[in-house]
């Protein structure tokens, strides 16, 4: 098996369609690495200990910046994972929407009903309220 027949039938949906994306990844990463290296090489290097302190508007830094954070952010991230998977389920449906007709629509309606139950539960419980 070689690339020639694979690339010729690129009109169909085959893995060969992704070949240019592979090239682009190499190209983009190469460009980014080159530019970072270039600016590191070209720029002046006069480091002093004051310059390398982290910037906090002129006042001296107090300890490590990394502190445990509010749980709301975790809740948003967890809910995002759940909802994201649910949204992904709609994509195969949207593509087949017309051929599936009412049967598919009812199935999705039931799915959305569960989705909404969860959604209202979340809102009622105040998981997405930011001001307390």
Partner 1 sequence: MTTLLAIDWALLTEKLILIAIIIFASLGIALYMTYGERKVAGILQDRPGPNRAGPFGIFQPFADGLKLIMKEEIIPDTSNKALFILGPGLAMSAALMTCAVVPWGDHVELFGRNIALQIADINVGILYVFAVVSVGVYGIMIGGWASNNKFSLLAALRGASQAISYELAMGLSLIAVLMTTGTLQLGEIVKQQMAPGHLWNIAYQPLAFIIFLVCAFAECNRTPFDLPEAESELNQGYHQEYSSMKLGFYLFSEYINMFISSAIMVTLFFGGYDVPFLNESLLSPNIAALVGIIALMTKIVCFIFFFMWVRWTIPRFRYDQLMNLGWKKLVPLALANMLITGAVILLWFNK
Partner 2 sequence: MSAIQIIFWFLSALAIVSALMVLISKNPVHSVLWLIMVFFAISGHYILLNAQFLAIVNLIVYAGAIMVLFLFVIMLMNLNNESEPQKNVWMRLAGAVSGGCLLMILVSLVRQAIEINNKVAEMKVGDIGLIGNLGKALFKDYLVPFEISSVLFLSAMVGAIVIGKKN
Q: Which of residues 40-69 bind partner 2 (CB under 8 A)?
A: 64, 66-69
Residue 87 φ then ψ, to 5°: -65, -40
Q: How far is the CB of 57 from partner 2 (least distance, A)?
A: 23
Q: How far is the CB of 54 from partner 2 (least distance, A)?
A: 16
Give one DSSP letter per residue of 72-125, joined into a string. Answer: HHHHHHHHHHHHHHHHHHHHHHHHHHHHHHHHHHHHHHHHHHHHHHHHHHHHHT
16 close to 6: Cβ distance less than 8 angstroms: yes
Give residues in contact with partner 2 (CB under 8 A): 1-3, 6, 13-16, 18, 64, 66-69, 71, 73-75, 77-82, 84-86, 88-89, 91-93, 95-96, 99-100, 103-104, 107, 110-111, 114-115, 117-118, 121-122, 125-127
């Amino acid at each position: 098996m070689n690339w020639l027949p694979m690339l010729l039938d690129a009109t169909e949906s085959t893995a060969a369609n992704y070949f240019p994306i592979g090239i682009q990844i190499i190209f983009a990463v190469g460009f980014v690495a080159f530019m970072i290296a270039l600016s590191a090489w070209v720029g002046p290097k006069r480091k002093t200990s004051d310059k390398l302190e982290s910037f906090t508007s002129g006042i001296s830094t107090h300890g490590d910046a990394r502190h445990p954070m509010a749980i709301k952010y975790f809740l948003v991230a967890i809910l995002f994972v759940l909802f994201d998977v649910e949204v992904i389920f709609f994509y195969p449906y949207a593509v087949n929407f017309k051929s599936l007709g009412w049967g598919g629509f009812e199935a999705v309606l039931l799915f959305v009903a569960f989705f909404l139950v969860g959604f209202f539960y979340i809102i009622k419980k105040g998981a997405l309220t930011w001001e307390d």
